[in-house]
Chain A
Amino acid sequence: MVVREEMVVRNHCGVHARVATGLAAIAEADNVEIEIVFGGRTADCRNILDVLSLSLVRGSHVEVLVRGPEATRALAAVRELLTGTEING
């Protein structure tokens, strides 16, 4: 199963190390492949350095693609992580 969704990054400091680590953890936990597309570039969330070097800041519009049997659940987790209202994020 493949699901995709566009979202706007809301983390105050952008997608920094902790958020990027969280993305990898979701991929691992749900055994799915998560890709983030931004500015014509795609990063696989298992590669933390690729994700960091997308340089996603608060307000970046991204497209998220999730592949795998638990894709829907994983996508919801990604949405929560990137667009949640956590103040320190």
Chain B
Amino acid sequence: MVDQESNRKVDTDLEAKLSCEEPQIIFGIGASPGIVIAPARVFRRRTGSVAWRRLTPDRIDNEIRRFREAVTTAEQELRQLRSSLADDLSDALSIIDSHLLMLKDRMILDRTVEIIRSHHINAQWALATALGLVKKKFDAIDDPYIKQRYMDVKHVADRIFGVLSGRADEILSDDRAKVIVIGHDFSPEDILHMRADTVLGFITEEGGITSHTAIVARSLGIPAIVGAKDITCICGSGDRVILDGFSGRVCLHPTPDQLNQYREYDRQHRCSSRDLARYADLSSETLDGHRVRLAGNIEMPAEIAAIQHHGGEGVGLFRSEFDFFSRSSLPDEEMLAHIYGKMVAALAPKPVTIRTLDVGGDKFSNRLPHTGPRLDLERNPALGLRSIRYSLREPALFIRQLRALLRASVHGRLRILLPMISSPSEVLAVKAICAQAARELERETIPYDDRVEVGIMIEVPSAVILADSLATEVDFFSIGTNDLIQYSLAIDRGNQYVAHMYEPLHPAVLRMIKQTVDAGHQQGIEVAMCGEMAGDPMCAAVLLGLGLDELSMRPSAIPHVRRLLRGSRYQELAALGNRILGCRDVDEIHQYLGRYLPRHYPEEFCHP
């Protein structure tokens, strides 16, 4: 009894500590680039309680009329919104068109009417039932991209619910203050309304970067973060928030230091986007002639266009999972070879780095052999059967991908990147399989480039420690900072209680980067970085100073980093790198950079 009470007391104390206005960092997914600082306006999810009312038979026709009128009103709202948009917002227009079709789809319209009539119940309840049936249908869809379109159906139904319950459009408030709106989820139309308003950016708990809401935010240039778990519980209206749409980071109750840092970023981004465009066509070179490759991270072949647009010098990381997850069956070798070959040819002679299948952790598909049951049993998937471990366990699937990669290598400069290597024996095992794939192709007289480069991700601490041995076995390294930071600092950044301890500029992380660079250079191989950190301008100067040969980032970040690089002298960057390596803790590093960056890059980091 006493114990329970004291436990409860500890719990409450802990709650109080966490809920007070301490600085806190929440990680979501950067869905639309840009940085804004403003108070939050939080829209908590209305508890989804739809009232159930039984209707007397004489009220039924009336209720059906009420429902049809609500649909008509919703339709008018959408048409009105559509006609207010400029023609160049073609993505937004086509999304509204699809919503207009959904609004009048028989699974929504006819079925709701039918349910009202047959069950004698009110329109809201009937609509909720109809929506539930649609959800069931979409739940059965395997393809993640099409499955996600259920969110669109829900947005459409929410609009009808809104009309039926006489709810005003809350987000269209006449509040004059500039705010960041935060909610469980917003529809694309909500975002389209926001633009004329006083909304500087938005953050949602739901959604991914391919959601229609994210697409609209990008085409309007509204900074946005999606997938920020529990943010509507953690954050309250009026709380000050920094939204960094580049990295997906939300700083709640920011410290004065964070505010200064991000104001500088903000200025840099806002004042310079026009000026930045010209950096797409310039070389990535310091004032004293040191060259670094700035490449892009992508997950769909179509994004090659974004790399070209922003002047990327190659693909530093192509996440090859999409082609395995998005089809009715596993892709065959022919299809993969075709997709890879086209990408490689599009950028030739620039390098295209393709990472082999990186499944497990939070990424798996029930179409892949064996992952389903096994992952259910895993208590700690981050330390489980994932990535290269999975590929080595499923050699038939792995050979298929390796053969496709080898075949694509004849079209330009292809680099094969192996994820999550934790010991040299894994590299040897992969090389044996790769050699077998090459022998097969030779026997079948299918051409491939026998000098194709094979590199490894450095993202597990053991790989850093053994970097000198690993360097003798491979053609390049690519440091994956997201996992390296999580594994080395033992921080799950999806966990709100410890996420603030996730720190890219942690001295331990910087020393690991340096150790990897040195080990690679000693063997004469290139060392790249393809984590989020590489595209963060605040980190970029330090990383360049540590001697990385390639930074690979979101394509839109390339011009920012290139401008910084072109305004630097390599000697000074190297001195900065050394100075930072000498720092004993994170605060010292932040303080030093807070003084150093504005002084050396006034254009980038100073206030007007």
Contact = CB atoms under 8 A, between A and B. Distances in A.
Interface string A34-66: 000000000000011110110111111000000
A52 B142 CA distance: 12
A57 B328 contact: yes
B106 A59 contact: no
Contacts of A21: 94, 97-98, 101
Nearest to B147: A55
A15 interface: yes
A49 B328 contact: no
Contact of B145 (A14, A20, A59): A14
Contacts of A88: 302
A52 B327 contact: no
A49 B98 CA distance: 10
Contacts, number: 78
Contacts of B327: 57-59
A59 B335 contact: yes
B209 interface: no
Interface in A7-47: 12-18, 20-21, 24-25, 47
Chain B interface size, as a band, is 20 to 34
A52 B212 CA distance: 15
A39 to B, nearest CB: 9
B101 A14 contact: no
B145 A13 contact: yes
B146 A55 contact: yes
B429 interface: no
Nearest to B148: A16
Nearest to B101: A48
A57 to B, nearest CB: 5
B21 to A, nearest CB: 41
Contacts of B95: 17-18
A49 B146 contact: no
Interface in B313-343: 326-329, 335
Nearest to A44: B106
A76 interface: no
The winner among B98, B107, B108, B326 for most chain A CB atoms within 10 A is: B98
Interface stretch (B133-141, B463-471, B473-481): B133-141
Interface string B132-171: 0010011011110111010011000000000000000000
B98 A14 contact: no
A28 to B, nearest CB: 10
B164 to A, nearest CB: 20
A57 B149 CA distance: 14
Given A17-B98, A17-B152, A49 B326 contact: no
A13 B326 contact: yes
Given A21-B94, A49-B108, A57-B328, A16 B142 contact: no
Contacts of A17: 94-95, 98, 149, 152, 212
B301 interface: yes
6 contacts: A21-B94, A48-B102, A50-B105, A52-B146, A55-B142, A59-B329
Interface of B: 94-95, 97-98, 101-102, 105-108, 134, 137-138, 140-143, 145-147, 149, 152-153, 212, 300-302, 305, 326-329, 335
The 6 closest A-B pairs by CB, nearest first: A48-B101, A17-B98, A21-B98, A55-B141, A49-B107, A49-B105
